Amino acid sequence: MDYIKAGGLTTPSLPNQMKAHVDSLNSIEKLENLGFKGRDASLSISLGEYRIAGLTYETVKYEENLWKVLIVYSLDNGYFDRATYDASTDVEREWNWIFENDRNRDSLSDYLSGTEETIEDFLKWDSLYKKIEVLFDIFGYENIFGTTYGPGFQIEGLYHIVCGNCDFLHGFINGHCPQCGTPKNH
């Protein structure tokens, strides 16, 4: 994820009307041109397999420069939605239910143990997108972004997998087909 920090790289400044409108987010090519990044080097695989990608960008509001994080994420129905946060969002405050509950803290700690990081390390990460990506992996889109009441939008050029059991074309959700529940490697 490219973002500003001392001596760092800058990302494109997006017009306000463009940052959240799905017509500017409905293809891999458009997302790549905007500078979206995901876990994999291929944005198509990031959205198809890992179900999330993000972009940190600068916008101007009332003559003040503000940094925002725009995230595109997969719903359980194979469609996508988006969310925007201030880049300075405090994850402990925004998702306090994770940090105030022992079971949820343990889930986060267990996930991070695979990277030999602690929750304290995690909270020091510069990239809000990377923090949200981890929380999304553990707690799912509804718990992190809230309920989506619309149908979502599709993304052209997305890497999809066809389920061998039900022939449903999609990215897998937590390693299982969202249509029939079959494990990915079945």
Binning pLDDT at 50, 70 and 90, where does residue 103 land? very high
Could you tell me what percent of the chain has a pLDDT over 90?
42
Whether the pLDDT of residue 10 is over 70: the answer is: no
Q: What's the token pair of residue 174?
A: 């937590």
Confidence (pLDDT) at 163: 67
By mean pLDDT, which of 2-16, 24-38, 126-140 is the weakest?
A: 2-16
Binning pLDDT at 50, 70 and 90, where does residue 117 land? very high
Choose among 46, 43, 41, 54: nearest CA to 1: 54
Q: What is the rounded average pLDDT of the residues 97-120?
A: 95
137, 110 contact by CB (below 8 A): no
Whether the pLDDT of residue 161 is over 80: the answer is: no
Whether the pLDDT of residue 120 is over 70: the answer is: yes
Whether the pLDDT of residue 7 is over 50: the answer is: no
Can you tell me which residue has the tokens 């458009």? 30
- Name the H helices within the chain: 28-34, 43-45, 91-94, 96-99, 102-113, 119-124, 128-145
Question: Based on C-alpha coordinates, what's the Rg of the chain?
Answer: 17
Q: What's the token pair of residue 122?
A: 């995690």
